[in-house]
């Protein structure tokens, strides 16, 4: 509904723009050829020109409205993300620089007050205000270190630095990590800061999976929806569903990367391929599998432990055991202890894309 209202408003703006264009063309004709449409043309012909221009520009903006709305939304999200990463002192100095730049632009715009072509004066003034406003903001924020900062700003900056150096980036969840469910336990620990973002296209994909004819897919989709409900009801971390979509992109993974780039956020996933593609496009990723591997206990060569030999290994005489976190231990000579506990000594460890593998030998008795 909101998009329809926005398209209607843009159509009205287009109609007004069409009338303004006709007025601008009339001023050009007067300036260069001394031809005034209001005096030279009959009333109904002039009315048709105005109506035709208004209708043409209204249709044009109505058709371009989806792209304009998407671009405006992306711009707002980017500005919001940038402002969220700035301290209060930076925003204050930026506003001061913006005001100074606009004052300078206002003084310079007086030079165009006597121009006969009003439309040209308007364009020049718009360029002046935009340029000096932007320069005022950027120059002052970049050189704020040369300005004596009030003590209350310094105190606020120290308090903020004591907690975190920058505002937390939004975490954008993909379908696989929601179905996986471990993100809920990670959020309970409090190590994930910032808003948890669930894009509308990810929610649609979950609903599609939950409605699948395949029982396995249907259960996975319903599990994902249940996990989302649990996160919204039980966790203190804010969960937000964003309606941003990219109709020109078909794949959900590509949409996720685009959304993370536009919002300045982090993609949370356990999808290996999505992790690699996002890395190529320089979009930050939090891979749940990598996090799980990182927090597994480190076993150094020479450490002793007691394990239960669960099955035979690939090589002759080998036995395979598992730690509580699922880490595989290959025990040289452990086959004869199949189904029993054995004391082993760690010899080496190997990190693979699938996880960590530990090699051990039987402890000498």
Domain ranges of the chain: 1-84, 86-165, 171-294, 304-362
Strand partners, 242: 199
Q: For residue range 96-137, what is the model confidence (pLDDT) as tens digits?
A: 888 998 999 888 888 877 776 676 777 888 888 889 888 888
Q: What is d(CA 204, CA 333) in angstroms, rounded to the nearest whole number? A: 52
CA 14 to CA 57: how far, in whole Å? 5
Question: What's phi and psi for 236, nearest 5 deg?
Answer: -85, -15
**pLDDT at residue number 185:** 86
Token pair of 196 as six digits: 């948890």
Instruction: Round to the nearest angstrom and report the end-to-end CA distance of the chain.
Output: 77
Spell out the residues 6+ positions from residue 323 whose beta carbon is closer than 8 angstroms to its own: 297, 307, 329, 358
Q: What is the pLDDT of residue 181?
A: 86
The pLDDT tens digits for 239-297 are 888 888 888 888 888 998 888 888 778 899 988 888 888 888 888 888 888 887 777 77
Q: Which residues of the chain have pLDDT under 70?
A: 1-2, 31, 40, 85-87, 116-117, 119, 143-167, 352-355, 365
**Domain 304-362 belongs to what architecture?**
Beta Barrel (2.40)
Residue 267 neighbours by CB distance under 10 Å: 26
Reply yes or no on domain 171-294 having CATH 3.40.50.1010: yes
Query: What is the pLDDT, as a whole number, of residue 113?
Result: 75
pTM: 0.49
| Residue appearing with tokens 């209202």 | 5
* pLDDT of 71: 81
Which burial class, exposed, middle or buried, applies to 147 when counting CB atoms under 10 A from its CB (0-12, 13-18, 19+)?
exposed
């Amino acid at each position: 509904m909101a998009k329809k209202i926005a398209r209607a408003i843009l159509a009205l703006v287009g109609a007004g723009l069409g009338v303004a264009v006709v007025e601008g063309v009339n001023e050009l004709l007067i300036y260069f050829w001394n031809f005034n449409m209001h005096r030279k043309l009959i009333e109904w012909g002039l009315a048709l020109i105005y109506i035709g221009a208004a209708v043409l520009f209204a249709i044009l903006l109505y058709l371009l409205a989806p792209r304009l709305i998407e671009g405006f939304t992306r711009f707002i999200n980017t500005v919001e993300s940038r402002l969220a990463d700035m301290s209060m002192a930076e925003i204050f100095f930026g506003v001061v620089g913006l005001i100074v730049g606009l004052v300078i632009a206002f003084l310079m715009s007086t030079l165009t007050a006597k121009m006969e072509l009003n439309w040209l004066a308007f364009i020049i003034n718009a360029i002046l205000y935009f340029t000096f406003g932007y320069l005022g903001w950027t120059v002052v924020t970049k050189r704020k270190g040369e300005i004596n900062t009030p003590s209350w700003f310094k105190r606020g900056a120290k308090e903020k630095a004591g907690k975190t150096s920058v505002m937390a980036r939004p975490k954008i969840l993909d379908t696989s990590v929601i179905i996986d469910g471990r993100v809920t336990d990670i959020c309970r620990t409090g190590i994930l800061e910032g808003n948890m973002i669930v894009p509308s296209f990810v929610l649609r994909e979950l609903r599609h999976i939950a409605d699948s004819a395949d029982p396995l897919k249907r259960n996975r989709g319903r599990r994902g929806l249940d996990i989302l409900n649990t996160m919204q009801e039980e966790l203190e971390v804010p969960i937000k569903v964003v309606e941003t979509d990219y109709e020109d992109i078909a794949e959900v993974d590509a949409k996720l990367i685009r959304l993370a780039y536009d919002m300045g956020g982090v993609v949370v996933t356990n999808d290996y391929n999505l992790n690699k593609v996002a890395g190529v496009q320089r979009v930050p990723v939090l891979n749940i599998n990598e996090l799980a591997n990182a927090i597994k206990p480190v076993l150094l060569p020479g450490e002793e432990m007691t394990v239960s030999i669960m099955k035979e290994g690939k090589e002759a005489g080998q036995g395979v055991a598992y730690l509580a976190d699922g880490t595989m231990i290959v025990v040289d000579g452990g086959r004869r202890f199949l189904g029993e506990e054995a004391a082993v000594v760690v010899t080496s460890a190997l990190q693979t894309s699938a996880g960590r593998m530990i090699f051990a030998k039987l402890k000498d008795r």
